[in-house]
Amino acid sequence: MRRRLVDYFDRRSRPAPDLLADETFDRIARTLEESGFIKVTPPARYCYVVARFVLLEDIRAHRRSVPFDEARLTVRPGMPAAEAEDGTSQSLDCLSRCLDRLKPADRSLIVEYYRDAKRERINRRRSLAERLGITMNALGIRAWRLRASLQACVDACRKRA
Amino acid sequence: MMLRREPARDDDELIRYLLGELTDDQAESLDERSVVDDDFVARLRLIEEDLVDAYATGRLAGDRRTRFESFYLSSPRRLKRAVFAQRFLAAVDNAARDSPAPAGHGRAARWLPLTIAAAVVLSIGSGWMLVRDARLRTDLHETQQRLADADRQTARLFGELAQRTATAAPAPAQTAAPSVALVLLPQTRGSSVPPILAVGVESSTVTIELAVAALDRSPYQATLRDPATNSVLWRSDDLTARRAEPAPLVTVTVPAASLKAQHYSLELFTRRNGRTGDFVGGYPFQVLRP
């Protein structure tokens, strides 16, 4: 849920999506403390409703505080995402290590799924799904999860280094 | 998880959603689904992944590419995703070359262990090590080439992005203000991640503005430091802060030739009687070059 909320705030171009997601959870936690339950079903909808309030408040607060020449800020400091561009060779090294750390079946899947992105991708993915006996969508989700875990592994590796 | 793949028309709507092209009303209904609906979340992630990969591999063209660069990459989190995609796809292609055929390929898969064993036996005493060494060297060289290509592509994209951002930036108001590539805030304990400065090949100087707490401490001097070696690479002349909201700014023009693709820190000091005075702040940043 946190990831969904962060993505939501990020898509709405808020400068600190992580903080807004945390603020959303804080408010939900306060409600739970006070009333002991959430009336809205499914509870995820309640998360969205609270997140929407947090978003609107942030937009208003941002207007009041006058953006710091925002248009000229290529990437603002203090934002977790800017770490993307950290040392390239270190990043590649970490990526290679993280790939090697995957279970052989997972590594094989991710390599087969994403390799040669420019050509014959659909056919290759279709035959991969057939071999594994799963649908293309299930395959896509499995590959996406592996890729997300790789990205997390690379982030952790770079922090350690 | 049940995931229905809806028609391509809806995929297009999701792409427009990811690129911030929908109206607020349209976006709001998708916003809610992006938090509440598991199937939708999964589908959105796959569409986003395809979109980012298309950009990373140069398959995104025209207006969609322009929109991707102006909107999608404006978020540091999403920029990070795009950079990762580029490196990831290069690494995967590289790994694919060395991977054995996928399991389940019938007879070929069953015979593979025997074939390998036979190859090992035959190779003993026949100069195998020399051949292997040569092959490893070739593989290593090719791997380095591929990674270097991926890096060059990353740098090129960032260069193009910087150029587009500069072109799209609003015209400076009346006075001939310098073309500012980046506005930096002083480093704080919580901000360990440096902002990025994309320097084009044709740039002779790069103008950076440093936010300071007060106007009345001028003049200042900026020094460019390589944090890896802790050496000072360049020093500015005396600089004056100018009034700006919400904080005064000191404009520093750094020779582009001093900047390679690496991390740097600009350090700002006050000047007193021609000597270096108090340390005002450190402004780390990272340079990317095509």
Residue B189: give its domain's CATH number. 2.60.40.3350
Q: In this predicted model, which residue has the larger pLDDT, A130 or A70? A: A130
| Shortest distance, CA A64 to any CA of chain B (angstroms) | 12
A5: confidence class by pLDDT, cuts 50, 70, 90: very high
Paired strand residues for B220? B239, B270
Q: What is the pLDDT of residues B208-265, one digit of tens each?
A: 988 887 767 788 999 998 888 888 889 998 898 888 766 778 999 998 888 888 888 8
**Mean pLDDT, rounded, of chain B:** 73
Q: What is the pLDDT of residue B136?
A: 53
- Flag whether B250 is in a domain: yes
**Which residues in B178-193 are b (16+ Cβ under 10 Å) and which e?**
eebbbbbbbbeeebeb
Least confident of A70-84, A93-107, B33-47, B243-257: A70-84
Least confident of A37-41, A98-102, B171-175, B248-252: B171-175
**Mean pLDDT, rounded, of chain A:** 78
For residue A104, give every residue at least 6 positions away whose Cβ sits within 8 Å of its Cβ, in sequence order, or none. Answer: none
- Flag whether B276 is in a domain: yes
- Mean of pLDDT values over B76-81: 84
Q: What is the pLDDT of residue B2?
A: 44
B129: confidence class by pLDDT, cuts 50, 70, 90: low
A136 pLDDT higher than 60: yes
Least confident of B75-89, B112-126, B177-191: B112-126
CATH 1.20.1290 fits A86-160, yes or no: no
Least confident of A68-77, B213-222, B253-262, B273-282: A68-77
- Flag whether B104 is in a domain: no
B35 pLDDT higher than 60: yes
- Flag whether B198 is in a domain: yes
Assigned token pair, A144: 């996406």
What is the ipTM score, two decimals? 0.70
B191: confidence class by pLDDT, cuts 50, 70, 90: very low
Rounded Cα gap, residues B172 and B182, in angstroms? 14
- Flag whether B239 is in a domain: yes
Q: What is the pLDDT of residue B236?
A: 92
| Shortest distance, CA B232 to any CA of chain A (angstroms) | 20
- Flag whether B264 is in a domain: yes
Q: Are A95 and B198 within 8 A, CB to CB?
A: no
Is B1 an interface residue toward A (CB < 8 Å)? Answer: yes
Q: What is the pLDDT of residue B196?
A: 75
Q: Domain residue spans in chain A?
A: 2-72, 86-160
Rounded Cα gap, residues A131 and B89, in angstroms? 22
Q: What 3-state DSSP class applies to B183?
A: strand
Of B46, B77, B91, the CB nearest to A96: B91
| Alpha-carbon distances of B91 from A101, B54, B63, B144, rounded to whole Å | 14, 16, 29, 11
Q: Which residues of B touch A138 (CB under 8 A)?
A: 1, 3
pTM above 0.90, yes or no: no
Q: What is the pLDDT of residue A70?
A: 43
Of A66, A75, A147, the CB nearest to B196: A75
Q: What is the pLDDT of residue B278?
A: 81
For residue A81, give every residue at least 6 positions away whose Cβ sits within 8 Å of its Cβ, in sequence order, or none. Answer: A75, B75, B76, B77, B78, B79, B80, B193
- Flag whether B214 is in a domain: yes
User: How many domains is chain B partitioned into structurally?
Assistant: 1
Highest mean pLDDT, choosing among A70-79, B17-26, B144-153, B159-168: B17-26
Q: Which domain holds residue B280?
A: 180-288
Highest mean pLDDT, choosing among A38-42, A150-154, B134-138: A150-154
- Mean of pLDDT values over B260-286: 84
Answer yes or no: are the C-beta atoms of B76 and A81 closer than 8 Å.
yes
Assigned token pair, B85: 């995609």
Q: What is the pLDDT of residue B56?
A: 83
Assigned token pair, A6: 């962060």
Q: Are B79 and A136 within 8 A, CB to CB?
A: no
A119 pLDDT higher than 70: no
B67 pLDDT higher than 60: yes
B180 pLDDT higher than 50: yes
> Which strands sit side by side in the sheet containing B249-255, from one edge to the other?
B180-184, B205-211, B249-255, B241-242
Q: What is the pLDDT of residue B223?
A: 92
